[in-house]
Amino acid sequence: MKSRLCEMLGIEFPLFAFSHCRDVVAAVSRAGGFGVLGATIHTPETIHEELDWIDRHCDGKPYGIDVLVPENLATRGERGVTTRALEGRIPDAHRAFAAGLLADAGVTRRAASERTGDMPQPFDPDNALRTLEAAFEHPIKLIANALGVPPQEMIDMGRAHGVPVAALAGAKEHALRLAASGVDIIVAQGTEAGGHCGEVSTLVLVPEIIKALGSDRNIPVLAAGGIMTGEQMAAAMAMGAAGAWTGSVWLATTESETSPVFREKMIAATSRDAVRVRSRTGKPARQLRSTWTDAWERHPDSPGALPMPFMSLISEGALRAADAAAQGGNAKARDLVTYFVGQGVGLVDDVRGAGQVVQDFKTGYIEAVERLNDLIAE
Amino acid sequence: MKSRLCEMLGIEFPLFAFSHCRDVVAAVSRAGGFGVLGATIHTPETIHEELDWIDRHCDGKPYGIDVLVPENLATRGERGVTTRALEGRIPDAHRAFAAGLLADAGVTRRAASERTGDMPQPFDPDNALRTLEAAFEHPIKLIANALGVPPQEMIDMGRAHGVPVAALAGAKEHALRLAASGVDIIVAQGTEAGGHCGEVSTLVLVPEIIKALGSDRNIPVLAAGGIMTGEQMAAAMAMGAAGAWTGSVWLATTESETSPVFREKMIAATSRDAVRVRSRTGKPARQLRSTWTDAWERHPDSPGALPMPFMSLISEGALRAADAAAQGGNAKARDLVTYFVGQGVGLVDDVRGAGQVVQDFKTGYIEAVERLNDLIAE
């Protein structure tokens, strides 16, 4: 495909795959798309191993890295906050509610290890920027911020290395702020997306943002939210998107980091099972509905979600434990299992290899264009 | 455009315009689209005048009619319920809260007239079916039900007259029930739509429903929700939709029944100003956010929405009065003004003639197809 964006990034097909799994990132880039490693859980120390592996497996094709530097964090202004320090600030009611859910399901959560305790707080901005800096020792071709306006240091890093900076926008107003901040690529992410998302649908948000940006630096807009097929990618590009930014579709690949239990739940789910709730990170994020999300959102005894970053300390370890117990055959633990996923989960009916998914996107894309041409053929 | 649906209905461009305004219906059909008159507020007596007018102004082009026969109504099973009878069953708290909102804004609501009192309850199923029967004295080419599975009588009426029956679905499960009921055309309506809507976005719902229906009687699926432009219509059709079902875009036309104040508010709004709340009809319906919706949804003293059909008795008269006062220059009344509208309101930046909107859809559609072709051209 010929476009300014494809030239800018040296790719053939503007399908962006956000994944926490290096295997997916490498497979997508190899197949002609653009893999983006979600590095939120990494540190400057751990990121090298991941990127070394990608460098060895991506056939020299371009890839990128995505961090999450939230503009608003409950611990804003505090420096060097460790996980252990935060643990001590979690209210008893929240601790007890989470423990009760696990106990009811017969799930045992291991005590936080020493190593985990010394880790930076979840979504720590300093850690994200240092991780990004470390990543520049590798041939990364894009850096992205998953929530809000990237800090100036991130824009500067991109400039210094000649690497474009992308950022996600869930509303027109966000996109205008991103454009003003100097971002090079804007990802217009609709409410149907997995993970943190706003309330406007992709079908409306993409043209609304493209229209609002006008010819401002000719910023390419990628469409995100709900896109699982090449037909949907063509739909987004019919509206002027420069490409598609995808996430959920890679969770149902053989390479994915998700558990077999979660992939089975993806196949069984309809779009309505992807709910937008605060009960995993403290900010509204779409994820698979489960007894965990139901309890936090609907149970009369629920103490409600804590703000970011506290909520992740409660949920991540608990849900890892539930996932492990579910893999061992615990049915109640299986009911608890959830992960970030968008409404597109309703379109998942099998688990494929990531390279195959890219091929299927290309096929679907071409079929969609042919469908449109056939309709207006004489 | 050549398609089975276009042949079935005798149209050239599968753009369906739902409107309560006969002028819009006739103008769209004249321009090659398909106008659908929303007849919810009509009776067998009043519908003739509307359809006579359309018959005189649509140049013999096909048009349809849409009624709303809800499957669940708080007055279910009661027959011949008049507006006056229902008025007496509205709790004092709700009456007082509504009156307080109007009083705070200096809006005077006229007493319900004798004529209004004898009217059937809002959304009365018997009235809808009798209205439909009366409509068949005119050359209607489509009947549609806006909420849930149409009653068997409605399907039978369509069959008897050889007129296709369409119905709206907000979820895959609804679409499967519609298909089983014998509906001929399914409108997959995403959460971004104005009026009653579900939670799944158009970009996901359209392919999810098409996939779920498979080759079941080869039922055409129209895409609805958020579609304001030909580019978005092309997007929907790239995913396999047989056409686009639209509503909000016609509210910003010169022919529309909406007030100048509301049209100005549409132009000023972003997509996030279209909120999905129960406070107008008792069921979740998307509408422009205003001090009216805010008060019912967020004010600590709000008694909450009443179920359908009671809520409409409170809101419709009150909001008509607010609209009238706003036209007279009352700024607080203007703040109250709201009407059903989808997230696509964020794409409205002018008021055009309805025929011009159809032309702009055609132009945008062609541009979108050309854009896709250019991207893959050698």
d(CA B279, CA B287): 10
Ramachandran angles phi, psi of B51, nearest 5°: -75, -30
Interface residue B78 vs chain A (CB under 8 A): no
Domain annotation covers residue A201: yes
- Give one DSSP letter per residue of A307-343, joined into a string: PTTHHHHHHHHHHHHHHHHHHTT-HHHHHH---B--G
Domain annotation covers residue A294: no
> pLDDT value at position B215?
84
User: In the block, which residue shows the tokens 């089983």?
Assistant: B180
> pLDDT value at position A78?
87
Q: Specify the number of domains making up chain A.
A: 1
Interface residue A210 vs chain B (CB under 8 A): no
User: In the block, which residue shows the tokens 């995100």?
Assistant: A224
The pLDDT tens digits for A240-272 are 999 999 999 999 999 999 999 999 999 999 999
Query: Is B77 a residue whose pLDDT tops 90?
Result: no
For residue B30, the enclosing domain spans 4-81+120-289+338-376
Interface residue B90 vs chain A (CB under 8 A): no
Domain annotation covers residue A255: no
The pLDDT tens digits for B94-110 are 999 999 999 999 999 87
Q: Nearest-5° angle of CA A287, CA A118, CA A295? A: 30
User: In the block, which residue shows the tokens 């919706």?
Assistant: B293
CATH number at residue B64: 3.20.20.70
* Residue from A172, A201, A205, A246 to probe the interface with B (highest B Cβ count within 10 Å): A201
| B203 with A226: Cβ contact below 8 A | yes
Nearest to A203 among B3, B203, B373 (CB): B203
Domain annotation covers residue A321: no
> pLDDT value at position A68?
87
Query: Is B147 a residue whose pLDDT tops 90?
Result: no
Q: Give, in order, the Cα–Cα distances in Å from A86 to each of A74, A116, A314, B326.
A: 11, 12, 11, 52
Query: Is B122 a residue whose pLDDT tops 90?
Result: no
> pLDDT value at position B338?
98
Mean pLDDT of B89-93: 96
The pLDDT tens digits for B177-197 are 999 999 999 999 999 999 999
Query: Is B311 a residue whose pLDDT tops 70?
Result: yes
Q: Which of residues 267-296 of A touch B (CB under 8 A)?
A: 270-272
Nearest to B1 among A202, A211, A376 (CB): A376
> pLDDT value at position A118?
83
Which distant-in-sequence residues (6+ apart) come within 8 Å of B202 by Cβ? A201, A203, B188, B189, B190, B191, B192, B193, B223, B224, B225, B226, B227, B236
Domain annotation covers residue B296: no
Domain annotation covers residue B111: no
The pLDDT tens digits for A44-68 are 999 999 999 999 999 999 999 999 8
Interface residue A258 vs chain B (CB under 8 A): no
Query: Is B378 a residue whose pLDDT tops 90?
Result: no
* Residue B310 DSSP one-character state: H
Query: Is A112 a residue whose pLDDT tops 70?
Result: no
Nearest C-alpha neighbor of A183 from the set A159, A207, A205: A159
Q: Which of residues 167-206 of B touch A (CB under 8 A)?
A: 171-173, 190-192, 198-205
Interface residue A2 vs chain B (CB under 8 A): yes
Chain A residue with Cα closest to B210: A347
Indicate the pLDDT class of residue A81, thresholds 50, 70 and 90: confident
Indicate the pLDDT class of residue B115, thresholds 50, 70 and 90: low
Nearest C-alpha neighbor of B188 from the set B219, B231, B230, B159: B219
> pLDDT value at position B113?
55
- Chain A hits for B272, CB-CB cut-off 8 Å, are 171, 198-200
Domain annotation covers residue A192: yes
Mean pLDDT of B37-60: 96
